[in-house]
Homo-oligomer: A and B are copies of this chain.
């Protein structure tokens, strides 16, 4: 699995999904092409999925929000008879490297979360219309929808058979959503998660595993009626969407990538990638109408898409780069002006979508298992939404005072109102609230500084950056840090950062990415799952896994 994985797609290239529109309701049909696997060595039978299937789904969810704001309800159903979805493809998992398994699970988790975010942030509700077997990752997909309808045909069931069948966990949020979203009683959850055959009909309803059961003859009709009910009750205003065209991306020598606003430079020997974000290349739209007219060319939307693509690319395709360095260059006031248009029109659908997309992109950065550092240099534009990057990273370095031969404007940070609530982390706190958990009064003080130029001395005094360094120390200190970081065990870094980044309260999201993912990663290392006689390797051979029975 060494080919470059591309996260960009569009409807003309979909192989696994079909979207049909009926006014306020969209029907999303999963109809996986068996021969359409991203890699060789497996067939995507029974609507099982691999990363390629999920990349299309993520694209659909994203386009539904930007291109089809008129849609209030999305019905997720199967395009095949007798099977809803059999979950992640087991042969794919069995053949995948540990790193790919972990990255795959994280991306699919992020996509599942985006289904829930669509309702929470944009009023687009997902209904799972389950006919046929709905197992493992298939049921996890249904769990990510906010309403599950199951046909009562005596055969269709929901199931999480991973534990008995494969000796791994339902790791795409399954265990967490069963206990914390569906709030299934824990002994019933224990039974459900340790049976292969799943639960049907009334029992599925009684156990809270689904929201409705419907006689099979009336199923399609009932689903359509329910979708119309939900649509009628949704407050989402009607609007016409914008088109998300292809992003501008040019691959350079040695893995470098140039987007229109983002540059990615690699230093393979130093095991790091530097991501430089540019400030606006045009004036802010004068009105929300102009924003709509700019569409996917508008600065903050374009930047979000490019940054998102860069992060995903580095996660999957550049495994040995342990450190991501964030830089920015541009006019901080111009960044604030772009963001101000969105904030002033936050009740307009497109402004709302762009702000909500930034929330997701910033969470994607928080959840990236690489060491993250930001360099606040002269000429930089870490302002408003871009300043969030400074508190998403593990530490930051800021230039202080004049640097010889450097005529760029002195390094500064600027805060906006959006830093105080628009971009919460997975723990539901803002990055500033998380940062100042020990001195919450510091957040209040920062509110008085909105819009001010905060130079190194001010930023240090306010606790906004980790180090401020002058011309004499800058180069050496930054270099020494990066060299040291590159020498540490990548595993220890991943574990440490996963623990340090999310202080404070926990949410379903942090539980999925923290607790559930960590246990799954552990199991993905254990011989009982991935060893020669482990259940994942033996799946489909007719022979059960042979286990070392020691409990850990």
Residues of A at under 8 Å CB distance from B? Answer: 98-99, 102-103, 162-164, 166-169, 175-176, 178-180, 182-191, 193-194, 208, 271, 319-322, 369-370, 393-396, 434-439, 463, 466, 484-501, 503-506, 511, 514-516, 518-523, 525-526, 528-529, 535, 544-545, 547-552
Does B550 lie within 8 Å of A501, measured CB to CB? no
Q: Assuming A522-B522, A525-B526, is B514 touching A549 (CB within 8 A)?
A: no
Residues of B within 8 A of A438 (CB): 182-185, 208
Top 7 A-B pairs ranked by shortest CB distance?
Answer: A183-B438, A518-B518, A167-B489, A506-B506, A179-B503, A495-B519, A175-B499
- Which of B166, B186, B500, B506 has a CB less than 8 Å from the CB of A190? B500
Does B494 lie within 8 Å of A552, measured CB to CB? yes
Contact sample, A vs B, 21 pairs, CB 8 Å cutoff: A163-B492, A166-B492, A168-B492, A183-B503, A190-B496, A190-B500, A193-B496, A208-B438, A320-B550, A321-B551, A370-B551, A489-B528, A490-B547, A490-B549, A490-B551, A491-B523, A491-B528, A498-B519, A499-B515, A506-B506, A514-B514
Residue of B nearest to A526 (CB): B491
Does B552 lie within 8 Å of A491, measured CB to CB? yes
Q: Assuming A496-B175, A499-B179, A549-B322, is B395 touching A187 (CB within 8 A)?
A: yes
A501 to chain B, nearest CB (A): 7
Expressed in whole angstroms, the Cα–Cα distance for A473 and B38 within the complex equals: 49
A197 to chain B, nearest CB (A): 12
Q: Assuming A394-B190, A515-B499, A522-B521, is B167 touching A491 (CB within 8 A)?
A: yes
Does B525 lie within 8 Å of A271, measured CB to CB? no
Q: Assuming A322-B551, A515-B514, is B490 touching A528 (CB within 8 A)?
A: yes
A291 to chain B, nearest CB (A): 34
Does B182 lie within 8 Å of A545, measured CB to CB? no
A207 to chain B, nearest CB (A): 10
Does B485 lie within 8 Å of A499, measured CB to CB? no
Residue of B nearest to A498 (CB): B519
Does B102 lie within 8 Å of A552, measured CB to CB? yes
A423 to chain B, nearest CB (A): 16
Residues of B within 8 A of A271 (CB): 549
Listed residue (A166, A175, A501) with the most chain B CB atoms within 10 angstroms of its CB: A175
Expressed in whole angstroms, the Cα–Cα distance for A523 and B526 within the complex equals: 11
A498 to chain B, nearest CB (A): 6
Expressed in whole angstroms, the Cα–Cα distance for A226 and B185 within the complex equals: 48
A464 to chain B, nearest CB (A): 10
Does A466 lie within 8 Å of B191, measured CB to CB? yes
Residue of B nearest to A195 (CB): B484
Does A518 lie within 8 Å of B522, measured CB to CB? yes
Does B496 lie within 8 Å of A194, measured CB to CB? yes
Q: Assuming A369-B551, A492-B168, A550-B320, is B194 touching A485 (CB within 8 A)?
A: yes
Residue of B nearest to A548 (CB): B490
A153 to chain B, nearest CB (A): 26
Residues of B within 8 A of A163 (CB): 488-489, 492-493, 496
Expressed in whole angstroms, the Cα–Cα distance for A95 and B278 within the complex equals: 52
Residue of B nearest to A100 (CB): B552
Residue of B nearest to A499 (CB): B175
Residue of B nearest to A488 (CB): B164
Does B394 lie within 8 Å of A187, measured CB to CB? yes
Residues of B within 8 A of A394 (CB): 186-187, 190
